[in-house]
Structure 1
Amino acid sequence: MMPRELLVAAVVLTAVSGCKGDKVLAGRRILETNPAGALALFQEAEKTHSPCFECKVYEGLAHEKQGDLAAAAAAWEAAIAIPDAVGKTEVSWRLLDTYEKLFEASKDRAERLAIAKKAAPLEVSLAAARAWANEALAESYRAEMKAAQKAGKADAVKAAASAIQALYLPVQRKRELAIEATEALKALFIERAENAFKEKVAAELAEQGRFDPDTSEVALTNRFTIPSPSKDPAFDPKGDGFKVALRKA
């Protein structure tokens, strides 16, 4: 199989472009041996033929050969942003690969998240089988969901859960994360109910000896005062119907 780099070049060479010229051809000839010199030629060609898809693609290759993946990604981002350019799909795959390398090389959480956000739409448009960027975003939203639960913010939990469901993920993965969101919301509901009980009812019940704040146990009792025989003859202990009246009470 042709290496991806050569495949990109082949696509570009066959593209119908208005930016071909002596400088682009000269740059291609020395790209392997002198990428810095080739880059300068591609940039010069771009000044007279803009927008130039071919120039941007080769600029990306020149940056890559010099080890500057961030600059390579920027060049390929500019290339695929050019309307009606031929060969965008292959360049998009190359860009996605570069994003992953940048993501893996970075130790900064914010930077990794920013890279994943750029890569995620490419995974969708290319129908990538392994959506690493969308999975990275899912884990980020999952962390937000847990933090929101800890902070007692149900709306934030719902927002993170909705963001997860909008990602390009396998159905089973979405289902697992949806269950986590449901459990988080359930826990928040129970916590709110318990807090409301403690604020509005617990103190009064504790004074009555019907609630233990240490164990959160509630003692359910049925209090009934037996009327005097003069008020209700049925409750006269000496009467035949006394026991029956008590049971009914």
Structure 2
Amino acid sequence: MQKRLLADNRKLVEKFGAKEISTLKDVPDFYAFKRGLVYSHRDFDKFYAALKKGEKCAIVSGVNASGTLHIGHKVVFDTNLFFQKKYGVPVFIPISDDESYVAGKVKTQEEALENSMRLAKELLAYGFDPKKTYLIIDQIYTNIYNFAIKLSRRVTLSEIIASYGYKKEDNPGLYFYPAVQSAHVLLPQEIGDFKHVLVPIGPDEDSHLRIARDIASRAKYNKPAVLHLSFLPGIDGEKMSKSRNNNILFDDDEKTLRKKANKALSG
């Protein structure tokens, strides 16, 4: 698992133009940076310099509505919370209920919406400031689709297929969704005039941000900065996810935690 993660991180640098975080002299005094959980970035130095100057900055950090929060989310959301508490940065959290449905992660739109409402409560309980946190549930905030339509003219179908590997058997909702994700990422600039935006992600999500950054430059927005954070592995050593049933949920009771711990891969 660790070898594959390292290979993925190196690929971001060697093939896709990310920069190793170790090349930066000025990084925050926060555990994700101090313990090597941030491997690479795109323009983080520019975002951090603007932040320390007191310029208008925001963070975008999405979560999928296919389940509930688990500890695999912890490093990313701890990082978001650090910037909010230390610098007062507004955090925009898209909860992608629509993507959960079109990708077949949930059976119905109603299930996705129900999951989204539960996630919203969990995120506020995590410690985010309600006055500086914007939860975006697409079935509720439908204006996101107007923005996505505007951005969709700035990307081609060929680019989406090359980035995601979609096939003709896939539903059209998947083909359109990169425009929606880009709308999530660029929303702070569109509605709040936040010129400096940071998006902390796992390395496997970089394709979303490559598309969003390309769209941003073509549509005359500032390119969002990106942090590539290591994710915590699941109890089987693979990436933690609901679909693999290898996660540890924040609301697991003691009995469930003990059962999962006894099954966990060690060594």
Would you say same fold, with TM above 0.5? no
TM-score by length of 2: 0.19
Q: Which has the larger share of helix?
A: 1
Q: Which has the larger share of strand?
A: 2
TM-score by length of 1: 0.20
| Higher CA-based Rg | 1
* Structure with more relative contact order (C-alpha pairs < 8 Å, separation 6 or more): 2
